[in-house]
Amino acid sequence: MKRIALHIISVLMTFSVSATEWTLQGKPYTVDTLNHINVGPGTTLTSLRLTGTQNLNIFYTTTDLTNPLIEMEVLKAKDIIYAREEVSAMALNHDNDSIQYFLGVNADFFNMRRGNSIGSQISNGELVYVDNSDRTQWAIGPDRLPIMDCLSINSTVIAGENVAMISGVNKVATENSLNLYTPRYGSVTDNTKNTAEVVLVPIGSSISVGKSVKLAVTSVNSSSSTPIPANGYVLSGTGSDKDFVAALKKGDTIEIATTISTSKGQNIIPTNVVSGYPVILSNGKTTDPVDILRHLNGLHPRTAVGNDKDRTKLIILIVDGRSKDSEGCTSKVLADIMRYVGCDDAINLDGGGSSELYVRSLGICNVPSDGKERTVANGLFAVAKVPVDNEITSIAFAEFRKNLNEKDTYTPVIYGYNKYGIIVSTDVKNVKLSCPRQLGKIIQKGTTLQVAGNKGVHTLTARLDNLTTTMKITVNK
């Protein structure tokens, strides 16, 4: 994978086309589109080179959320709370014969030592981690319309006439709190003083967003360090919440209802939620978050996710940083960039050495500032709900345009796609090239173009059996 990714980066940096001008926080930048290719169902990958006050390399994907083959999903590293894993590994470990995790990006800030994310996470309706702090979240539900807001995730426990609110899910126990632990937390709950705990097993469906479920109390523990069952939960009360749990007995039935609301009080039922901080673009306007976190005002690698005004196009974007080739940017510049690439709303995700964009078959498409792929707490993925299919039904040049000079030779790389639009080959063999005489001639058994001296834009064609594709070649002199 790394060999492929490095090849792509070297290709992207050897030419530039489609220059335009952007103004980022009042400063002009020249923007060159280096490449633009399809990478999955309804999804393109674009790379840009910005030159100005800072030099910036940008990689972003655009996904059509109305495409029925696409779903967005949040994955936790190794599927447990205290773990870190590469974004590529998360994707590969969840791929199967009917689901392809073809695009991924790092997501929430996290504890570097223990591997737990800082903010809340929900995956396919499951409460993975809940901490109702002042963090903001990116969320999406069955309607496929993304939301960026400070969400309240509330789980109410009803035990007879007694009612209580869960303080958090899979959080470290704190004084005077009611916590729910799932198997993702580990084998046992925390060793905490002044605690009462009960083991719960679902009667029917498991705890999920937007549902009210019944659970049976199967055992009680007047202290902590209770084993967490693989098919159930542990409800733990400390301090002032201890009495609520201590009142429960083996054989009791309780009810837990989970609701999620926006900052404006609107109830929503998202299937996937991941935290980031803060919202940097709202209704097309750059926000002013620099006083919230000091690093937002510095030059760093950045990761962001956003959507267009109709909320039908999702954009995932990386700005490389901490190198002479790409210095990084502030959160305000990041917001301006997101607006230029088509976003109306955007949220900042974890950056720095964590910033990376993964594409199936291509590997890591940017240059992480650590010099390698970092292990992170969780990731946001575009998922194609399609079976594995390695039959090539269309082909495309790896580069969408090329600038050449007289007598140059060019051996293009050809990608092969299956019927779902997923790349299944990054070096299709037995392709034959053809071109008009004004462009040049084809040598090396049909694989290489030798450029003639006719200045202008010409078309190069590649053919594989009955499949064809074209690209524009600009001859400079």
161 φ/ψ angles, rounded to the nearest 5 degrees: -90, -5
pLDDT of residue 17: 39
pLDDT of residue 289: 61
Which pLDDT tens digit goes with each residue over 204-248?
999 999 999 999 999 999 999 999 999 999 999 999 999 999 999
pLDDT of residue 293: 57
pLDDT of residue 287: 87
Separation between Cα atoms, residue 122 and residue 372, nearest integer Å: 28
pLDDT of residue 304: 98
Low-confidence stretches of the chain (pLDDT < 70) are 1-19, 289-295
Sheet holding 285-286, edge to edge: 17-24, 27-40, 43-51, 56-64, 313-319, 302-307, 345-349, 279-282, 285-286
Which pLDDT tens digit goes with each residue over 253-273?
999 999 999 999 999 999 999
pLDDT of residue 453: 80
Model pTM?
0.94
User: Beta 401-404 vs 467-475: how paired, if at all?
Assistant: parallel
Separation between Cα atoms, residue 159 and residue 248, nearest integer Å: 8
- Tokens in use for 450? 């030798």
